[in-house]
Amino acid sequence: MVVTTSTRSRKPTGPDAACVEAVDLARAAATEAAPGEVGEHLGVEAEDERLVTHRFATTNPGYLGWHWAVTVTRASRAKEVTIDEVVLLPGETAVLAPPFVPWAERLRPGDLGPGDILPPPENDDRLLPGYTGQTDSPYDPADGDAYAGEADLVADELGLGRARVLSPVGRADATDRWYSGERGPEAPIATAAPAQCATCGFLLAMAGSMGRVFGVCANEYAPDDAKVVSFDHGCGAHSEAVATPGGLAERPPLLLDHVDYDLVVLDDVAEVVEVSAAEAAEGVAEVEEDDVEAVTAAVVEIDDVPEGDLLVEVVTEDETEDFTSER
């Protein structure tokens, strides 16, 4: 009787011990890549059998939240651990640049300026070949083109002389974009409007299928003047709007009174010279020299005042008291 035995090596269940212990080797590799910028050891992660990655913090102030990742490996039945790669990777708190966007996808609505040229992409699904009246038309239904089944959808565009017209996809995109935008029924100005554009006298009708939902505003005082608006849009410049209290049509009260005048007594400007009624009746008042100097010193020179713009009114003390009591 022959008995055979076989030995089967067990597959390691955890990270390779030799690779895990190679912290100094991994640190030396990271220091060689960035001298003076390698910090504390953050941990180790098993990538595969005998393949381990050591993570080190970076002390570079320009890379907050980043860490050095040094991957080490060991060949089968070999004792020496070697370096596989050294990279600087971002962490969860790292500041990263925005994701790359191809140039063809960077253009957004409103970016096109004067002099800019934006040709449509090839095979644009928003456009369909039209009818120009030429015999060498680029569109031939016999070729089995993808647009052959949609030729009847653009029959109403025939005779306009355009090489391409808007496709059903293009019309649907425009309808959704306009209706859900700032000139649709859900806009804040529309929800607060007294009535909808469908009943406004300033709404101009549009031809074609789009005219069933949209029109053009022709009110110069409306915020959407010369723009396409939906029938259920609206604003405060509706043709049938009625002025309400507190609205723009009501004249606000005066805040500054330029008709009346206020009496201001300046006690510290000049001395008041009292003249008796008898002296005033004689036509000439006897005033002492000291009083004359005091009054003369109180005169203020005013330059650049046109004639007729400066009005001085002299009142008696009794009139001043009467005026103050009336106020």
Average predicted confidence (pLDDT) for the chain: 76
Is pLDDT above 70 for 8?
Answer: no
Please tell me the distance from the alpha carbon of residue 30 to that of residue 86, in angstroms, as a whole number: 6
pLDDT tens column, 102-137? 877 888 877 877 887 778 878 888 888 876 555 444
- Tell me which long-range contacts 153-156 makes (C-beta under 8 A, separation of at least 24): 153/128, 154/128, 154/130, 156/208
pLDDT digits (tens, 9 = 90+) for 183-224: 999 999 999 999 999 999 999 999 888 999 999 999 999 999
Q: Strand, helix or coil at 307?
A: coil
Q: Which of 53, 71, 90 delimits the end of a domain?
A: 90
pLDDT in tens, 10-21: 555 678 888 888
List, for residues 62-79, the tens digit of each pLDDT value.
Answer: 899 999 999 999 988 888
Distance from the Cα of residue 129 to its chain's centroid: 37
Contact by Cβ (8 Å): 44, 15: yes
Domain final residue, candidates 38, 57, 90: 90
36-60 pLDDT, tens digit per residue, is: 999 999 999 988 888 999 999 999 9
Number of domains in the chain: 2
Q: Give domain status of residue 82, yes or no.
A: yes
Last residue of a domain, one of 90, 113, 147: 90
CA 68 → CA 37, 56, 95, 280, 301, distances in Å? 9, 5, 15, 103, 81
Q: How far is CA 33 from CA 89, 180, 200, in A?
A: 13, 54, 72
Domain containing residue 288: 277-326
Looking up residue 26, the CATH number of its domain turns out to be 3.10.450
Q: How far apart are CA 287 and CA 274, in angstroms?
A: 9
Decide if 300 is inside a domain: yes
In this structure, is residue 105 part of a structural domain? no
pTM, two decimal places: 0.43
253: left (phi over 0), alpha (psi -120 to 50) or beta: beta
Look up tokens 């800019």; give the residue.
116
User: Could you tell me the CA-to-CA distances from 321 to 62, 311, 318, 324 in Å, in that order?
Assistant: 79, 21, 5, 5
310 within some domain: yes
